Amino acid sequence: MMVIVVLLATQCVSHAGTASRMMVVSTVLRRAAGNVADVTVDMHGNIVCVAYTDNTIQRLVPNGTLELVAGQSGDLGDTNGVGGAAKFNNPWGITSNTVNNIAFVSDSGNNAIRAINLTSTLVTTLVGPTTAQPFGIVYLRGVLYAAGPRS
């Protein structure tokens, strides 16, 4: 049986036709400010999410605390730096390399892909700014895939 983990930001919704394969395991991310747009896990299994309109990356740790990984709440920009010193502009998608504990963020408002060392929380710019606006992003076995609208 395939288990689909659903992390709902604000509400429970029904998925007609797929309910038998769907297991809602958590709604904890509803506490994250700023519209959770995407989610991944770090090497420890902590849930890491992107708060799109809050311009932050947040992490749910095992005791239930939602802590800031990087970004300044409500303040947009393209600054690189450690944790709260870094800024994002409408970060949308997130994926991670759980071996090296690195997250990749499609920073849609900056037309860039940012990398976050989830151990040190150092944010760097991996790609960009480009002319393409990235949204969906996935990392698999050394390859980073990103998608966005034609510009």
Ligand X SMILES: *[C@@H]1O[C@H](CO)[C@@H](O)[C@H](O)[C@H]1NC(C)=O
Q: Nearer Cβ to ligand X, position 33 or 61? A: 61
**Residues contacting residue 114 through CB under 8 Å, at least 6 positions apart:** 80, 86, 88, 91, 104, 105, 107, 123, 124, 125, 126
Residue number, 96 or 111, with CB nearest to ligand X:
96
How far apart are CB 119 and ligand X at their closest, in Å?
A: 4
Q: What is the DSSP letter of 41?
A: E
Q: Residue 61: in which H helix or E strand, if any? A: none
CB of 149 to ligand X, least distance (A): 30
Amino acid residing at 11: Q
**Within 10 A of 3 (CB to CB), how many other CB atoms are there?**
9
Cβ neighbour number for residue 98 with a 10 Å cutoff: 16
Among left, alpha and beta (phi > 0; psi -120 to 50; other), residue 71 is left
Q: How far is the CB of 39 from ligand X (least distance, A)?
A: 19
Closest to ligand X by CB, 63 or 151:
63
- Cβ distance to ligand X smaller for residue 46 or 53: 46
Q: How far is the CB of 115 from ligand X (least distance, A)?
A: 9
Q: Which residues bind ligand X (CB under 6 A)?
A: 61, 63, 65, 100, 102, 117, 119-120
